[in-house]
Structure 1
């Protein structure tokens, strides 16, 4: 008959098992390491699965032996002191050789996997230069002349090569479903004629989707808020995105005004007609925001917008920022309200961010940038202008 103590132990174990099973049925985790979507990720995942099953085999064998020993050799009523023994050559050899075999079985696929994921792709890979900065990511497509920030568009079925470097401290690029994390190091100066060492990451994405990641190397106050968002899409969608990004948004520059009749009657060139049409239909708040951006603040010192006079390279590129889903490296949904909130007081949203607010300055690499001193009207207009660039 089961005594009360044992029964309580069984009940408690049952509750723990039930809780563990329920937790395994939770909702989808955005940064899952066990749902790879690339060839690189599959190599890591397959190795993980092999090690997991070796662990389960060891666990079952050890627990089974422990249970057998505890039951078979438990103390019995009236039993005297058992005979003491020391050493067993056969067992000692067995439990030395068996783990060695298991280690070899793990080491071989591990080494194979390391070389496999480091091998550059055979085909014509799409190269993306990834630069980690506190606390955001810069993505530059050198062959296409496109630069964006925090949200990375990539095609499915095409080899990808990420060239990783840091603009300040050590970061680590990690999008779990793409593969293992890779250190992003500051570039060390080398003698002329030599190429600086950078880490690379090679993979091919196999399915469409949105995949989240983040910096995986502590880099300062906002380390945990340095997010990455990868949008994997078809080759056609990716090419359309590139084409769009290479063309300035209609509201990026002030349109040239002129008689509406000229534009509508064909008296102007097509581009001029488009500009005049925008001039007629543009929201005055957007026009006011553009004036604030270029004439009433120092935004252009840090930020760039494709096709405009904004040449900044310190902060994120703002080309077509209105089409991004988030701002602040994944901190906020991209809405005019959240943009205004970010512009007014970025540190309240993301502690440690190196961006001046309306009421306080910011320091970057020893240079102090003054507070923007923007009032609410200017901030709302600036947010409207940025949101309009889609």
Structure 2
């Protein structure tokens, strides 16, 4: 008996923890803290449906309690309450009310669905074949990394998506191997990346919300794609329009990196012998999509994470180069190069940490 009472005492504690944990979440990675037009619209729809459901639950609960307490059988009272079976009035009420609630939810949902699917701006091209008044990003999902190509700017990045604030950014989504799903929780709902046909949609990042999140958001793969699915993350950097234009100009003008130090130069030689076949070190890589087999490393020295999962330190980079399978099972880098000696790992680390795009 005491054990049962002890268990019941845990329920209030669990209830309090539920409310406390429901308030957790980062501005950079939370669908409940919308950071743009698309996310806000979807959030409003979610709140509308939640309000409708809560109202229905409240009404049904009240009716249930009324019936339980008012019409329960009492000792010595065999009176049978008035029967309402076949009441046309009640049947009309409980038929019409759900229909009205569904209409209230359906109309804005259908409207928003068509509005968010409007990507006609991507089809408006100028004489040079570039998109006129819209920023387009080609997203290519791979096992287990992301590539972001800005076709009208001649820039390619990996793992780091850079976007301007307060304007629509249009995305072409494809996958190289298996189905993935592109999702930036704070900016909008997920969209699948397929191997056979591209999906298109747009997102918008609000400058004020971006400032609250320190101009940094995080994205994820939202489709189970293999053993390292949960580790397939990417970073979204939000910049003002002027800052974005400056960034794009620097990326487009970047040349082959020049590293300093004998150890880094030794690492460059090793890289050019064994790694350059898959990786590029300039953000204006002109190779076709099919030739880009691994993440672009042009800005590797400026990143916050290694392989999207490890803190960006020399020690972690050495661990990754020594055995990437330990940190990202099933990744395509494992087994594609021979075993590296400690000296080679140290040299490659020195080289990779100097890969940065600097303003000319």
Q: TM-score, normalised by structure 1?
A: 0.78
**Structure 1's 110 and 284: CA in aligned 2 closer, same or farther, altered over 3 A?**
same
- Report the alpha carbon displacement of residue 236 of structure 1 after superposing the two structures with TM: 2.5
Relative to structure 1, the CA distance from residue 307 to residue 165 in structure 2 (aligned partners, 3 Å threshold; closer, same or farther) is closer
Question: Is 1:124–1:159's contact at 8 Å kept on the other side of the alignment?
Answer: no
Pair 1:231 & 2:237 matched:
yes
Corresponding residue for residue 302 of structure 1: 278
Aligned partner of 2:88 in structure 1 is 89
What is the aligned counterpart of 1:221 among 209, 219, 227?
227
Provide the rounded CA distance (Å) in 1 between the counterparts of 2:306 and 2:201: 25
- Written as runs of structure 1 = structure 2, the 5 A alignment for 1:1-390 is 14-28=12-26, 30-80=28-78, 82=80, 85=83, 86-120=85-119, 124-187=133-196, 197-207=197-207, 208=210, 209-248=215-254, 252-253=257-258, 282-295=260-273, 298-306=274-282, 313-328=292-307, 330-356=308-334, 361=335, 369=336, 371-390=337-356
CA distance 1:283–1:308, change in 2 (3 Å): farther
Secondary structure of residue in 2 paired with 1:388: coil
- The alignment partner of 2:226 has SS state of coil
Q: TM-score, normalised by structure 2?
A: 0.84
Is the Cα contact below 8 Å between 2:71 and 2:81 reproduced in 1?
no
Q: Report the Cα offset of residue 321 of structure 1.
A: 1.0
Deviates more, 1:104-113 or 1:230-239: 230-239
Which 5+ residue runs of structure 2 have no aligned equivalent?
Answer: 122-131
Does the residue aligned with 1:108 lie in a helix, a strand or coil?
helix
Matches of 2:217 and 2:348 in 1, distance apart? 30
Q: How many residues align?
A: 332
Rg (Cα) greater in structure = 1
Q: C-alpha distance in 1, partners of 2:222/2:12? A: 36
Q: Deviations over 1:297-317 (max 9, x none)?
A: x21111111189996610011
2:12 and 2:283 map into 1 onto residues whose CA distance is 65
Deviation for aligned residue 1:43: 1.6
Q: Distance in 2 between matches of 1:84 and 1:309?
A: 81
Contact 2:220 2:233 in 1 (8 A): yes
Helix, strand or coil at the partner of 1:66: helix
Deviation at residue 14 of structure 1 after TM alignment:
4.5
Task: Considering Cα pairs closer than 8 Å and 6+ residues apart, tell me whether 1 or 2 has the greater RCO.
Answer: 2
